[in-house]
Structure 1
Amino acid sequence: MSAIHQPTAETLPPRAFETRRLLTGAAQVTALIGALVLVAVLAPGLGDVRGLLADANLAWVAVAVGLQLLSCLSYVLMFRPIFCGARSWATAHRIGWSALGMGSIVPASGAAGLALGGWALVQDGMEPDRVARRSVAFFLIKGSVNFVAVAVLGTVMALGLVGPPVSLWLTALPAALALLAIGAVLLLPRLGEGAPPPATAGRARHAAALTRRSVVAGSREAVEIVRAGDPLVLAGAIGYWLFDNAVLWAAFHAFGAEVDITIILLGYLVGQLGGLLPIPGGIGGIDGGLIGMLIAFGAPAAATAAAVLTYRVILFWLPLIGGAVGFVALRRWLARPRRHAVAD
């Protein structure tokens, strides 16, 4: 067993995770989403979008919310075996939902959420090096599902086996880029972790060496985790991606538009790349990427704008609400004088 951490100043959240800062971030993202809604409601030339929003099928919106909940639960399902294998499901839910909520309000495509989860795990006794490796592995496994899907779908669509006829620039090219990305990740372990810098080296060099070691070791660990074939990891990774895609599919149905699922799946990748932009909550980056790609594939413009806006509102609020509950529970749990921390 690891040493039990007592609630001290060292166990308080880092400044980035302070309640006041999180509330500020949530307010900023809410304001950005509000601005998007106002544009849709007030801007000239968007009458069709306003009409669709006013006539939305609420039953399909409820389905979209349920699918997003399943996506969040899949995240926790994957989170537990990778980070909390020797800990309880309650612990996995506290930390996993907190990470999801953080990812809703801070840019960096979910990395901030993993940072929060890593901090909590270190307080509970996990070695920082292991947290760093597992964070890289989690991030790579979660993202690899989307890239594999794009590689497969892009290829079969380029061959004309499924989906509507689409330019090779929108099918074969994304498939090739996805394959290159997958190959690059598989080659990362060959880089080696490198020699540790001398003690006299500057802070930047030490940070670079630590990053390289974590990325290389984490990529190697990701491959090992996938090869182990843990059903919770595989089901969680696929479920997180699949149900999140399904939210967008249901949002289209809420506005009476039936868009081929292959278009939604490929357009999703561009949206996730847009989420890498340093914008609070990814607002604007994800939306612009999704709308542009879906319309390029032939989806109706007005329905696409309405569906993506609905998707973004659900994608923000559901993880945020669940994350807020999880974060409060996590703070109380970490403040307990005795916890049975276990080294995974």
Structure 2
Amino acid sequence: MTAIADRDRAPRIARRLLAPVLLSASIGSLLLAVPPLRAVAAQIDRLHPAWAIVAVGLELGSCVAFVVVFRLFFDGVGAGTARELAWTEQGSGALLPGGGVGALAIGGWLLRRAGMSTNSIVDRSSALFFLTSAVNVGALVGAGILLAVSGGAEPVDVVRSGIPILGGLAATAGVLAIPIVVRRSPHRDWPEWLIDLSAGIDRARRSLRAPSWRLLGAVGYLGFDIAALDATFAATGHPLGVAPLVLGYLIGYLANLIPIPGGFGVLEGGLAGTLIAYGAPATQATAAVIVYHAIAFWIPSLGGLVGFALLRRRLAAGEPAAQRPTPSSRSVAASGTPPKYASSTCTKIGFAESA
């Protein structure tokens, strides 16, 4: 039955790839057909190819960085399996509606097939999500402060910098409050998913207290991706300042929450609109975003397809995916993790193997 299901799944993945291709063709036709957008098409045609190649390399670096930090939280999974899972999650995030939400769902399903318990999947996946989100929030607040300091006291800059700072701090406070509330009401009948989520937040926080070089993966995952967008701006001949670039990127990416396959159309609109609001020239911003999204879509998508194919073959061959807990992973009880999760929690950080 599994083999039949896998065979049926392959055409569905192919259809998901076909939809973005058709959407890309539609966007290209629109650029050529609508007069105001012809300037954007002309700008894309004049892009400096060397900077486009740099953007591809930076996007690849972002994907590799995600593999690095993924293995920090899933160190109980075999190295090869973990790499394939990480690439598959990234491909799912690029292909499926909802971006990261779809990637988490696909990753959870594959981890369950690999033999990991549901509680452990939610715990570790939420820890990975909250750690990478913490980097995003830190960048958002930092860029807001930088814009406020460099932009003077103009009302527009106060609003454009103040809202991201307040939003980032409020989101951080809300997330950190979840495990505190759960721990202070141990006798309340909390939903299982909320308890697992709380454990994931605690795990992400503990990872910062036990430094590992793999934590750099969370920084590189965001940093290289923003740098890829910066490279496409440089390709237009109009590089953008650090603060507007980071703020425009992080706020604009919220458009990806709209459930459109591949984020085509909505992500371009969200990114370009926000970057223009932060001072980017309209034509150059639109051209840079279109090229960036093409790169940010195809690099993880192709890597994800390869990763999924290798992972499916590995699981079909019956290779063990989950490794036996190490002695250091059994010492988790001393780290403050609730006893019900001690069996599925691992504090060992993998320094020995590369990404």
TM-score (norm 1): 0.86
Bigger share in helix: 2
Q: Pick one of 13, 18, 34 that aligns with 1:22.
A: 13
- Name the counterpart of 1:183: 173
- Name the counterpart of 1:308: 289
Q: Pick one of 199, 208, 222 that aligns with 2:204.
A: 222
* Two-structure CA RMSD over aligned residues (Å): 2.5
1:152-301 mapped onto 2 (5 Å cutoff): 152-160=142-150, 167-192=157-182, 209-232=191-214, 234-301=215-282
CA contact (8 A) 1:108 1:278 kept: yes
Q: Pick one of 101, 109, 122 that aligns with 1:111.
A: 101
**Number of matched residues?**
322
User: Which segments of 5 or more consecutive residues in structure 2 lack a partner in the other structure?
Assistant: 326-355
SS in 2 for 1:45: helix
**Bigger shift: 85-94 or 259-268?**
85-94
Query: What residue identity is the alignment partner of 2:52?
Result: V
Identity, in percent, stands at 35
Q: Pick one of 141, 145, 150 that aligns with 2:131.
A: 141
SS in 2 for 1:159: helix
TM-score (norm 2): 0.84
Cα shift readout 1:187-232 (whole Å, capped 9, x = no counterpart): 11123177687xxxxxxxxxx9233222222222221222222220
CA contact (8 A) 1:157 1:165 kept: no
Tell me how far 1:324 sits from its aligned partner: 0.7
SS in 1 for 2:228: helix
Tell me how far 1:159 sits from its aligned partner: 2.7
Give distance in 2, aligned partners of 1:238 and 1:341. 27
Tell me how far 1:110 sits from its aligned partner: 1.4
- Name the counterpart of 1:91: 81
Query: What residue identity is the alignment partner of 1:278?
Result: P
Query: What residue identity is the alignment partner of 1:211?
Result: W
Query: What residue identity is the alignment partner of 2:26?
Result: A
Tell me how far 1:299 sits from its aligned partner: 0.7
- Name the counterpart of 2:32: 41
Cα shift readout 1:236-295 (whole Å, capped 9, x = no counterpart): 100000000001100011111121122110101112211111111222332212111111
SS in 1 for 2:200: helix
Going from structure 1 to structure 2, the CA distance change for 1:337 and 1:90 (only over 3 Å counts) comes to closer
Going from structure 1 to structure 2, the CA distance change for 1:190 and 1:11 (only over 3 Å counts) comes to farther
User: Which segments of 5 or more consecutive residues in structure 1 lack a partner in the other structure?
Assistant: 1-7, 198-207
CA contact (8 A) 1:141 1:237 kept: yes
SS in 2 for 1:46: helix
Going from structure 1 to structure 2, the CA distance change for 1:47 and 1:10 (only over 3 Å counts) comes to closer
CA contact (8 A) 2:226 2:249 kept: yes
